[in-house]
Amino acid sequence: MPDETLFTKIIRGEIPADVVYRDDLVTAFRDISPQAPVHVLIVPNHVIATAADVTRDDERALGRLFVAARQIAEREGLEAGYRLIVNCREHGGQEVPHLHMHLLGGEPIGPMRTRS
Ligand code: 5GP
């Protein structure tokens, strides 16, 4: 498992990003290519490559993703709701091999999936 990813560089401040939340377990920043008025990525501070690689050692950080998502959603005024997405590996459309949760909101996000 790589110990360095694009997101670890963002977490360490080596690549600029609009960080909206940070604590001892997770960091959240705005997606560079937003797919909704609010599009935030919430990332464990340690590298977990994909959802298919999680272990019990990751439970605290993974739980914190949801707590951070709730706090960010409140701050962003997403009372009407939002969508949380974790893409996994190739078929899931994952591009960055560092597990992350997408928080999308600010307008109706639409159907969960349109088959192509
Ligand atoms: P994935 O497809 O892996 O679930 O999502 C990766 C996300 O990372 C994409 O939505 C993409 O726009 C975002 N992303 C890629 N490179 C950067 C970057 O350098 N900075 C930020 N803030 N987001 C990025």
Domain CATH for 101:
3.30.428.10
pLDDT tens across 12-58, in order? 999 999 999 999 999 999 999 999 999 999 999 999 999 999 999 99
Q: Which of 14, 33, 50, 87 maximizes ligand 1 atoms within 8 Å of its Cβ, making it the mutation to test the pocket?
A: 33
Task: Determine if ligand 1 sits within 6 Å of the CB of residue 87.
Answer: yes
Is 37 a member of any domain? yes
d(CA 34, CA 18) in angstroms, rounded, equals 12
pLDDT tens across 82-93, in order? 999 999 999 999
Q: How confident is the model at residue 115 (pLDDT cuts 50, 70, 90)?
A: confident
Number of domains making up the chain: 1
**Tokens standing for 47?**
């590298």
Is 114 a member of any domain? no
What pLDDT is recorded for position 3?
83
CA nearest to 107, candidates 2, 35, 11, 52: 35
pTM above threshold 0.95: yes
Residues 38 and 104: beta-carbon distance below 8 Å: yes
Residues 45 and 11: beta-carbon distance below 8 Å: yes
CA nearest to 41, candidates 50, 33, 53, 51: 33
Close Cβ partners of 43 (under 8 Å, ≥ 6 residues apart) = 7, 10, 11, 26, 27, 28, 29, 98, 99, 100, 101
Domain range for residue 10?
Answer: 6-105
Q: Which of 12, 65, 96, 98 maximizes ligand 1 atoms within 8 Å of its Cβ, making it the mutation to test the pocket?
A: 96
d(CA 73, CA 103) in angstroms, rounded, equals 8
Task: Determine if ligand 1 sits within 6 Å of the CB of residue 57.
Answer: no
